[in-house]
Amino acid sequence: MTDIANTQVSPAAWLRPLNSISFFIRKTLNIAEMEMRKLRHEPLDLLTRAAQPVLWILIFGQVLAGARAIPTGEFGYIEFMSPGILAQSMLFISIFYGISIIWERDLGIIHKFLAGPAPRASLVLGKGLSAGVRGISQTFIIYPLAYFMGVKLDFNILALLGTLLTVLLGAVLFSTFSLLVAIKVKTRERFMGIGQFMTMPLFFASNAIYPIEMMPGWLQAISRFNPLTYVVDALRTFMLAGGESHFGLGTDFAVLILVSALFVWWAGRAYPSFVN
């Protein structure tokens, strides 16, 4: 057999800072690519996810809109809740994402990646990005639905990109949080219990389906520590024609980026303990 030249880069090369950042990004994208390939083989996964937000908007939304019980200012209730339901849909997809790595660990797939050269945090962030793509798929369900329900959407290209970026960031944040929980609890049974326990407080202690001003004081305080609140705030700004940010987009993105970075770092550090 002919010999192929040994093309390995010398190990010292990628230890230099600039190279190692580019290495980190490349490995993150490799992992994300793998997840996308898997998703492409199972596209139905995404469709089944669409049922829940559709029901929330069609049933819950219409009933509450008719009741006029919630003061949503200049917006109708369906308008007010549509960004909240997109955020909720992204949250549900992301918060249960950790179950997939428990499954992969039980099989043994994780071991091989941990013994490879990709930095642990890139394994985490790559998975987070793929959760982001899954979350983004929901915008393609919710935008048309909201449009037909008469919501005045902002179709400015920058606003649309802002929506996608917000969903992506939110999904990275909550999916890496989910990975961290999975790494800590290790079994599917415990994870499912905790997952159920996490989603409801995160959802209800946020501005997703009612304004913060309506909440009792203690819940208002909690909701300000809830990253979902900032996801919804940014989405309301980008999605709705005439939408205005409550906290300021700068604050929203700063919170989402910093908290995501913290979870990626933390989960990357805890990753090796997952297989021992």
Partner 1 sequence: MNVIETHQLTRQFGDFTAVNGVSLSLQEGEIFGLLGPNGAGKTTMIKMLTTLLPPSGGSATVAGYDIVTQSPQVRRSTGYVPQLLSADGNMTGYENLLIFAKIFDLPANVREERIQRLLEMMGLQDAAGRMVKTYSGGMIRKLEIAQSVIHRPRVLFLDEPTVGLDPIARTSVWEHIRRLRDEFNTTILLTTHYMDEADDLCQRIAIMHQGQLAAIGSPAELKASVNGGGANLNDVFGHYAGAALEAPGSYIETSRTRINAGRVG
| Interface contacts to partner 1, rule CB under 8 A | 1, 4, 6-9, 11, 15, 23, 26-27, 30-31, 33-34, 37-38, 41-42, 104, 106-109, 111-118, 272, 275-276
Q: Which is nearer to partner 1, 128 or 162 (CB)?
A: 128
Residue 68 DSSP code? T
Residue 150: CB minimum distance to partner 1, A = 40
173-205 per-residue burial string, b: 16 or more CB within 10 A, e: under 16: bbbbbbbbbbbebeeeeebeebbeebbeebbbb
Residue 41: CB minimum distance to partner 1, A = 6
- d(CA 155, CA 241) in angstroms, rounded, equals 8
- d(CA 147, CA 193) in angstroms, rounded, equals 36
Token duo for residue 55: 């029901």
- d(CA 206, CA 210) in angstroms, rounded, equals 8
Q: Are 192 and 103 in contact (CB under 8 A)?
A: no
Residue 106: CB minimum distance to partner 1, A = 8
Polymer length in residues for the chain:
276
Q: Which is nearer to partner 1, 34 or 219 (CB)?
A: 34
Q: Which is nearer to partner 1, 36 or 54 (CB)?
A: 36
Residue with tokens 């990753």: 271
Residue 31: CB minimum distance to partner 1, A = 8
Residue 60: CB minimum distance to partner 1, A = 34
Q: Which is nearer to partner 1, 74 or 106 (CB)?
A: 106
Q: Which is nearer to partner 1, 31 or 141 (CB)?
A: 31
Q: Which is nearer to partner 1, 73 or 112 (CB)?
A: 112
- Give the 3-state secondary structure of residue 247: coil
Residue 138: CB minimum distance to partner 1, A = 21
Q: Are 142 and 82 in contact (CB under 8 A)?
A: yes
The single-letter code of the amino acid at 95 is: I
Residue 188: CB minimum distance to partner 1, A = 14
Q: Which is nearer to partner 1, 32 or 264 (CB)?
A: 32
Dihedrals phi, psi of 112, to nearest 5 degrees: -65, -40
133-161 per-residue burial string, b: 16 or more CB within 10 A, e: under 16: bbbbbbbebbbebbeebebebbeeeebbe
